[in-house]
Amino acid sequence: MMRLSTDEMARRVAQDIPDGAYVNLGIGMPTSVANYVSDDKQVIYHSENGILGVGPAPAPDKIDPDLINAGKQYVTLLKGGSYFDNAESFAMMRGGHLDIAVLGAFQVSATGDLANWATNNDKFPPAVGGAMDLAVGAKQLFVLMRHTTKTDEAKILEQCEYPLTGAGVVKRIYTDLAVIDVTGEGLRVRELYGDNTLAEVQALTAAPLLPPL
């Protein structure tokens, strides 16, 4: 089967980000999507800590210790960018002002439930950050994740086993095997990479998949 690398997965999401979009990229793999958005598109990145117009990492001698992204990495501000407080930043999220959010996930259900903030390990302190706000608020929520766990267990399930971040919030799933839309009829495969077949991908998915239209 053809499995995309993490860079190729990020590149695939980047193709679907339109010119002029306001976008929030989650911590981890989603952050790297920005590296692959082509230069002919103008995309404005939002960071939950209060930035619109996030730019690339600064040169070492240009670091501003206050200017970080949600992953606590140093960033820069593009021309035309702005700063604001937490309440305004989350008003942008909940209020439906962001066009696209890209988040990682532990599990996604057949109806678009998202689980990405806690496992069922009680010894480990939970952390949620801005994930629940992004999940309910962005106009379109894309999930970027590997199709299965490291031990080949399905991450796309009839119902999530881990605690939910949001119910019925995911619009599209980008994995290393395929692109899958969450629709009213169920999970519909939008694209299979390489020679991957529906049957092969279905075998690694614990919810029914509909064939591409």
Closer residue to another protein (CB): 36 or 83: 83
Token pair 């066009």 in the structure block, residue = 99
Structure tokens at 46: 């939002």
- CB-nearer residue toward another protein: 5 or 120: 120
d(CA 27, CA 129): 10
CB of 15 to another protein, least distance (A): 29
**Rounded distance, CA 113 to CA 120, Å?**
17
Minimum CB separation from another protein for residue 196, in Å? Answer: 33
Nearer residue to another protein within complex by CB, 94 or 190: 94
Rounded Cα distance between 54 and 47, Å, is 7
Residue 19: burial class (beta carbons within 10 Å; 0-12, 13-18, 19+): exposed
Note the residues at the interface with another protein (CB under 8 A): 47-51, 64-68, 72, 77, 83-87, 89-90, 93-94, 118, 123-133, 136-137, 163-167
Q: Pick the catalytic residue: 48, 153, 185, 191?
A: 48
Q: How far is CA 177 from CA 6, 77, 85, 169, 182, in A?
A: 11, 35, 39, 22, 16
CB of 85 to another protein, least distance (A): 4
Minimum CB distance to another protein smaller for 72 or for 195: 72
Count of C-beta atoms within a 10 Å radius of residue 31? 20
How far apart are CB 54 and another protein at their closest, in Å? 9
Q: Is 48 a catalytic residue?
A: yes
Active site residues: 48
